[in-house]
Structure 1
Amino acid sequence: MLRKIGLLVTTAVLLTACAETRFVMHTAKRLGETNKSQGDYKVGKPYKVKGVEYTPEEDMAYDETGIASWYGPNFHGKYTANGEIYDQWDVSAAHKTLPMPSIVRVTNLENGRSLVIRINDRGPYVAGRIIDLSRRAAQLLGVEQTGTAKVRVQIMPNESRVAAERAKAGGTQLAAKDTPISVKGVNSEPVASQTLSDPLEDQRNAKAPGQLYVAPQSAPVVQAQLVTHTQILDAPVTQSASKIAPVGQISRVAVSPTQLYVQAGAFSDVGNAERVKNHLTTIGNVSVTPISVNGRDLFRVRVGPLSSVADADALLMEVVDAGYVNARTVVEKTARN
C-alpha cells in the first residue's frame, strides 16, 4: 500500500514538473517571438541620393504634408537602415531624415484615418514622396489599393523620446538566466481591443468621423488600439508626458479639401523667386507666394494646383529637369473664397 502511495506521489510530482517545464518552454518561445530586434538608435550623417542631399536630424517640431507611398514584399525580411529586420506586417515606415526610431502620426488627408507609426528605415527616394509606409500601415490608412495618398506627417515628441531611450538601452530586456517564472506575475486580465475594417468598405459605407472599424481578413491581424475622437487638422500633435500613444493606435479625424502643387523652391529674395517663376512659366501655372517661417520671410515658387498625384509626379519631373533638383510635391488646404 505504501509502495502504491509512493508511486502515485512520484507520478504527480513528475506530471507537475512536466507541466511547469512546458509552461516555461512556451513562455520562452513567446518571448522569442515578440522580442524582435529593436535595432540601433540612429540619426546619421548628411547623404546624397540621385543628386539630392538629405540631412538627418532630431526635429521635434517636424510637421509636413505631402505624398505617402508603401513598400513591402521585396524588402520583407531584410535589414532596415538602423539594423532591424523589416516586417511588412508591422506598423512602421521609412523617412529620409527623422531619427530611427521615431514615432509619428500619419493622417490620410483623403479619408481622415490617422495612425501612430514607428520610423525604422530610410526612404523613400522616389521624387515627390515624403514617407514610405509598411504594407500593414498602408492597409490601416487605406493606401494599399491606391498606392499613394495625400498625408500629413507629425512627429510625436514624447513617444519619440521614449523610443529613442529604449533603443539606446538596447531595446526590451529579457529576464536574467535562471530567473524563476511566476504564474502570479502573468496578467490574466483580458485585453480590450477592436480590429479595423477594410478601408475600401469604409469609403463605400461613407461612415461618419469617430466611428470604429473592423480589420480586413486577407492579412495577418494586428490588434490596433482605437481612439474615437475628432481632431482639428490645423492643430499640432500634443501629448501629456504621462500619456504615451502606442504604435498602431488609429483614429479618424476631420480633414479639409486639399490641393497639390509642385514647389520649385523658397527664396529669401523676391527677385530670385520672380526669376525662377519666369523660367518655369512655360511649364504651367506658376505663382510666387510669401510665407513667414520662424520669423523669416520667404517667397515660394509653386506650380499648380494639380488634379492628381500622377499629374504632380509628371510635373515634378519637368521642374527637376529644368534644374531645380530640390523641387518637391506639397499638399495644402484648398483656399476658401
Structure 2
Amino acid sequence: MKSLSSFILVLLLLSCTLKNTAEIKTYIDEKKEDIVAKKEEVIKKISKKPTSKKNKIQKRLYVLGDPYYIEGVQYVPLENYKYSEKGLATFYGKELHNINTVNNEKNKVTELLGRHKTLPIPTIVKVTNLENGISLIIRINDRHNDNTSLIQVSRKVAQLLKFYKNKTALVKVEIQADASKQIKVVTESMSDPLFDKTIEAAPTENVFESDLEDSDNINSGDNDFEQPIELSFEEVKEEKLYIKITNFQSYEEISKILNELKVYYERTIENNDNLFDVLIGPIENENANKIVSSFISKGYKNVEIIVK
C-alpha cells in the first residue's frame, strides 16, 4: 500500500511538472514575440536617430583662386568692388543641378545664382537685362568655362530676366560692394577653427532623417525660393554686341582671317602702335559664340565682347 501511495505521488508531481513546463513554454513563446516586436521598433528608431542641425551645416568657402586658362585665354580672379561690365549672359539648366561648386555647395537651377570667371566666390551682383530693363540681385557661387559669355546664370534667373526662351541676353553685371564684403566675412568665418565649437554650443532642435530618397526632380515653378524675389526695372537704351580682336600685324592678315572664317559683318580697323585692332559688328547674340570660338581656335586669344 505504501508503494502504491508513493507511485501515485510521483505521478501527481510529474503531471504538475509537465503542466508547469507547458505553461512556461507558452510564456516564453509569447515573450519572444514581444521581444522581436520591440527589437524591430528599436531598429527602426535607430535608423531614424536624431542628428543635430550642426551636422547638416555645409561649410561654404571663400574662393578667389589663381590665374587660369580656358582654351588658351587667361583669366585672373580679382577682388574688385567697383566691378561693372557689359556682356553676354547665358544660363545653365539641369545638367548642373546639384553639382558641387568650387566653394563647396550644391548648385541649384531653381535659385538666384550665377557663375563668373573672375569675381570672388561668393559675390553679390546686380544683373540687368539690357534688352528689357529688368534687373535682379543674385549670388555668384561658381566659375564657368565659356570664353564668350560674361556670366552664366541659373535657369530661374534667366526666366525672371525674361531671356530663357532666347537662350542669351545682353546684360550689365554690377558688383554690390557692401553686400559682397559682408558675405565674405560670413563665409570666411565658417573656415575658422572656432566655428564648429560655436555651432555646437548653440541650442538646436533634433532633426530626423527622412525615409524619402533624394530626388533630382526639379520644380520649375516660382515657389522654389525661401527669400522674396525683388525685380526692378530701369530705362535702357538700345545697345548692340560687337567683337573686338587685337594685335593683328597688318590689314592683309585681318582680311585673310575674316574671309577664312566667313565673317562678313561690318568692320572697323584701328592702328595701335603698328599693330591693328578690328571691331566687328553689330552681331546677333546667337552668333557670338561661334565667331569667338573660331578666332580662338585660330590662335587669336585677344578676343573681347563689346556692348555699346
TM range (shorter): 0.5 to 0.7
CA gap 1:280/1:176 in 2 versus in 1, 3 angstroms = closer
Paired residues of 2:241 and 2:282 also in contact (CA < 8 A): yes
Aligned residue among 142, 145, 150 for 2:170: 150
Q: CA deviation at 1:223?
A: 5.6
Match of 2:126 in 1: 105
Greater RCO structure (CA 8 Å; 6+ sep): 2
User: Over residues 6-65 of structure 1, what are the superposed CA-to-partner deviations in whole Å (9 max), with x where a residue is unaligned?
Assistant: xxxxxxxxxxxxxxxxxxxxxx77x988x6x35100100111222222111111222111
* Aligned equivalents of 2:286, 2:300: Cα separation in 1: 19
Q: Could you tell me which residue of structure 2 aligns to residue 218 of structure 1? A: 221
What SS does the aligned partner of 2:287 have?
Answer: helix
1:83 and 2:104 matched: yes
1:134 to 154, 159, 175: 154
How far the C-alpha of 1:218 sits from its partner, in A, is: 3.0
Q: Report the alpha carbon displacement of residue 144 of structure 1 after superposing the two structures with TM.
A: 2.2
1:224 Cα deviation after fit: 5.6
**Number of the residue aligned with 1:116:** 137
Amino acid at match of 2:282: P
Q: Residue 301 of structure 2 aligns to a residue in which SS?
A: coil
Q: Which amino acid is 1:313 matched to?
A: N
> For the structure 1 residues 94 and 259, does the alpha-carbon distance in structure 2 shift closer, same or farther, using more than 3 Å as the test?
same
Q: Say what the alpha-carbon RMSD is for the aligned residues.
A: 3.5
Aligned letter for 1:80?
Answer: T
Letter in 2 for 1:129: S
The structure-2 alpha-carbon separation of the partners of 1:217 and 1:278, relative to structure 1 and needing over 3 Å to count, comes to closer
Q: How many residue pairs align between the two structures?
A: 237
Secondary structure of the corresponding residue to residue 74 of structure 1: helix
Does 1:263 pair with 2:251? no
Question: Do structure 1's residue 328 and structure 2's residue 304 form an aligned pair?
Answer: yes
What is the aligned partner in structure 2 of residue 304 from structure 1? 281
- Residue aligned with 1:258, SS: coil
Kept after mapping to 1: 8 A contact 2:245/2:304: yes
Q: How many angstroms apart in 1 are the aligned matches of 2:129 and 2:157?
A: 11
Q: CA 1:58–1:273 in structure 2 vs 1: closer, same or farther (change >3 Å)?
A: farther
- Partner in structure 2 of residue 66 of structure 1: 87
TM-score (norm 1): 0.60
SS in 1 for 2:186: helix
Q: Which structure dedicates a bigger proportion of its chain to helix?
A: 2
Secondary structure of the residue aligned to 1:313 is helix
Corresponding residue for residue 183 of structure 2: 163
Whether the aligned pair in 2 keeps the contact of 1:115 and 1:250 (CA below 8 Å) is yes
State the 1:137 CA deviation.
Answer: 1.6
How is 1:3-82 mapped onto 2 (pairs within 5 angstroms)?
A: 37=58, 39-82=60-103
Q: What secondary structure sits across from 1:48 in the alignment?
A: strand
Change in 2 beyond 3 A, CA 1:179/1:113: same
- Partner Cα separation in structure 1 for residue 68 and residue 129 of structure 2: 29
Q: Report the Cα distance in structure 1 between the residues aligned to 2:135 and 2:66, rounded to whole angstroms.
A: 30
For normalisation by structure 2, the TM-score amounts to 0.65
Alignment partner, residue 294 of structure 2: 318
Relative to structure 1, the CA distance from residue 224 to residue 138 in structure 2 (aligned partners, 3 Å threshold; closer, same or farther) is farther
CA distance in structure 1 between the partners assigned to 2:155 and 2:271 by the alignment:
38
Report percent identity of matched pairs. Answer: 30
SS at the partner of 2:307? strand
Residue of structure 1 in register with 2:267 after alignment: 286
1:236-292: CA deviation from partner (whole Å, max 9, x where unpaired): xxxxxxxxxxxx532111111111111113x6xxx968676555554332213699x
Distance 1:275 1:168, change over 3 A: farther
- Contact 1:89 1:220 survives alignment (8 Å): no
Structure 2 CA distance for aligned equivalents of residues 48 and 106 of structure 1:
25
